[in-house]
């Protein structure tokens, strides 16, 4: 990879990587640190990274760095199960986006990552698999489970309006 390709990767992918991490951790400074770490790792491995595969390398690095840091800081519960009383709510919200974001934040970390990559960033199942280290079938299953959870959590749309 050349210096020009490195600089282009910063211009092209820094914002999408930041959005991906920020959607998963909800901490602006934490997300900035992850992006910076990714580009530092890319710089250190400049000779080993193919310029055509830099996007996958960066997102994979961001994903693994984020997971490692979250586990170290114990910010995320690894159980992923919610009490039955929390699955559906009777509160009324006028803001669907706020309700959806609340539901996404309750997803287990892997489901949150794949649903964010698919529905917010628009990556294909294959690309998500490359980023997360999962096979395409696993990605589909996690996305399906996340969507079912979101559907159940949000409930009927007439309650939202």
Identify the CATH number of the domain in which residue 139 sits.
1.10.10.10
What integer is the mean pLDDT of 121-145?
89
**Residues 156 and 88 occupy one common structural domain:** yes
116-142 burial, b if ≥16 CB within 10 A, otherwise e?
bbbeebebebebbbbbbebeeebbbeb
CATH value at residue 49 = 1.10.1740.10
Residue 14 has pLDDT above 50, yes or no: yes
**Residues 56 and 36 occupy one common structural domain:** yes
27 assigned to some structural domain: yes
* Most trustworthy range by pLDDT among 69-73, 99-103, 132-136, 153-157: 132-136
79 assigned to some structural domain: no
The first and second tokens of residue 123, run together, are 């990556």
Indicate the DSSP class of residue 118.
I
78 assigned to some structural domain: no
Using the 3D structure, point to which of 27, 54, 73 is the last residue of a domain.
73
Using the 3D structure, point to which of 48, 73, 98 is the last residue of a domain.
73
**In the chain, what is the greatest distance between 2 CA atoms, to the nearest angstrom?**
55
126 assigned to some structural domain: yes
**Residues 66 and 98 occupy one common structural domain:** no
119 assigned to some structural domain: yes
Write the CB contacts of 124 (distance below 8 Å, at least 6 apart in sequence): none
The first and second tokens of residue 33, run together, are 């640190």
**Rounded percentage of the chain residues whose pLDDT exceeds 90:** 16
Three-class SS of residue 111? Answer: helix
Phi, psi values for residue 101, rounded to 5°: -65, -40
**Residues 58 and 102 occupy one common structural domain:** no
Q: Which long-range contacts (CB under 8 A, 24 or more apart) does 34-41 make?
A: 34/62, 34/65, 34/66, 34/69, 35/62, 37/61, 37/65, 38/62, 38/65, 39/9, 39/10, 39/14, 41/65
- Number of alpha carbons in the 13 Å side-chain half-sphere of residue 13: 24
**Residues 29 and 69 occupy one common structural domain:** yes
150 assigned to some structural domain: yes
pLDDT digits (tens, 9 = 90+) for 76-128: 444 444 444 444 444 454 577 777 778 888 888 888 888 888 888 888 898 88
What integer is the mean pLDDT of 36-65?
89
The parent domain of residue 145 ranges over 84-160
Q: How many domains, the chain?
A: 2
**Residues 112 and 135 occupy one common structural domain:** yes
Using the 3D structure, point to which of 22, 50, 73 is the last residue of a domain.
73
CB 149 within 8 A of CB 88: no
pLDDT of residue 154: 79
**Can you tell me the distance from the alpha carbon of 57 to that of 131, in angstroms, rounded to the nearest whole number?**
7
pLDDT of residue 87: 45
């Amino acid at each position: 990879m050349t210096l020009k390709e490195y600089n282009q990767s910063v211009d092209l992918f820094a914002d999408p990587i930041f959005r991906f991490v920020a959607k998963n951790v909800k901490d602006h400074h934490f997300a900035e640190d992850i992006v910076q770490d990714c580009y530092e790792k890319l710089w250190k491995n400049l000779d080993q990274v193919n310029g055509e595969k830099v996007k996958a390398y960066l997102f994979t690095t961001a994903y693994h760095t984020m997971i490692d840091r979250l586990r170290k800081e114990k910010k995320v519960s690894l159980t992923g199960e919610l009490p039955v009383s929390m699955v559906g709510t009777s509160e009324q919200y006028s803001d669907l986006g706020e309700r959806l974001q609340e539901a996404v934040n309750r997803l287990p970390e892997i489901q949150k990552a794949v649903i964010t990559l698919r529905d917010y960033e628009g990556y294909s199942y294959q690309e998500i698999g490359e980023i997360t280290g999962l096979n395409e079938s696993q990605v589909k299953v996690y996305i399906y489970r996340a969507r079912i959870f979101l559907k159940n959590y949000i409930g009927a749309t007439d309650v939202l309006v």
